[in-house]
Amino acid sequence: MSTNDIRKAAIVLMSLPQEDAAAIVAKLPPQTVEAVTVAIARMGVVTGEEQTAALTEFANCNPAAYGSESGGLDKAKALVEKALGKGAVGTLDNVRQQIEAVPFGFLQKVDTQNVLTFIIDEHPQTIALVLSHMPPQQAAEIVSGLPSERQLAVVRRIANMGQTNPEIIKEVESGLERRMASVMSQQFEAAGGVEAVAEILNVTDRTTERNLLEHLAQEDAELVEDIRRLMFVFDDLSSLSDKDIQEVLKNVETSQWAMALKGASDQLKRMVMGNLSSRAATLLEEEMDFLGAVRVSEVEQVQQQIVDIVRRLEDAGQLNLHSDPGGEQMVQ
């Protein structure tokens, strides 16, 4: 069927009662159903004259009985679901992709640096065409990565770009998608990062850990702080000995414990309470009850304050966070 015939068929079907239209659609080949459905979904308001001409050609009916009609995705969806029932899902997905497809939409799933690598050597007009169809933030990142002389050329072309032939857009899009197919099909696993460093240093001897962090701090103090915060978290307090937890208790205010223990494990709560006097434990429980419901962010903030205190005590040699949990044998 020609494009004109598909449009006429779409007008006829959307003019009929859904039951009648569905009965006709059910007898059509799947490809025709898809093409007609796309036409209905894309169709705006149809004039009475066009509707009359289409109905006159396809069937003998009274054109005066019909006024203007409108299409749309909802009408197309209702018609296909009525005709195909459970089998409508695939057709509707294809229709929706064709209706809602955005030129160069596949690039939104690709890392910006990869996109830049593939288009940096293209003609400025081609780069401009691609960027004009990308989200502003992503396009801005790519512009920033271009050489300064190409930035100006690309931005100038974007500013002067008018309507572009859809065939040209499709050709550029297809070519770029083919070239980037290998990148898009790759799956990357997260590896390394601050968390990995923290895990390694957590099981490294204290001397090595201290030396590494001291040298790294000379280059990036903020990175070292991020690593240290991940190396010992609040719930790790439960792994301390009673002697060490008592040292921590001496350096942390009751009000801090009351807030921090709101989000602690039962094991840690029992450990803290067990290393307090009966009166101090009672006061702490009362203060926790008095606080009532608290924000998680507030709890985590105070927990981090206690972790920072623990790290300072360790640096001062008053705690040993790397003691052997199995209890290393001692010799005289």
What pLDDT digit, counting tens, does each position of 293-317 carry?
889 888 888 988 898 888 888 878 8
What is this structure's pTM? 0.37
Instruction: Tell which residue, 111, 72, 114, 61, has the closest CA to residue 95.
Output: 72
Q: Where in the chain is the domain with CATH 1.10.220.30?
A: 105-185, 190-231, 236-326+328-332
For the segment(s) 190-231, the CATH number from 1.10.220.30, 3.20.20.100, 3.40.605.10, 2.60.120.650 is 1.10.220.30
Q: How far is CA 319 from the centre of its chain?
A: 41
pLDDT in tens, 155-192: 888 888 777 777 888 888 888 777 777 655 554 444 56
Token pair for residue 187? 């799956």
Closest CA to 247 of 164, 199, 312: 312
CATH label, 105-185, candidates 1.10.220.30, 1.10.10.60, 2.40.50.180, 3.30.2310.20? 1.10.220.30
Cβ atoms of 195 and 230 closer than 8 Å: yes
For 236-326+328-332, give the CATH class: mainly alpha
Are 7 and 49 in contact by the 8 Å Cβ rule? The answer is no
Contact, 108 vs 138, CB < 8 A?
yes
- Supply the DSSP symbol for 239: G
Task: Express as a percent the part of the chain with pLDDT over 90.
Answer: 12
Query: Could you tell me if 249 and 277 are in contact, meaning their C-beta atoms sit under 8 angstroms apart?
Result: no
Length of the chain: 332
Query: How far apart are alpha carbons 70 and 58 in whole angstroms?
Result: 19
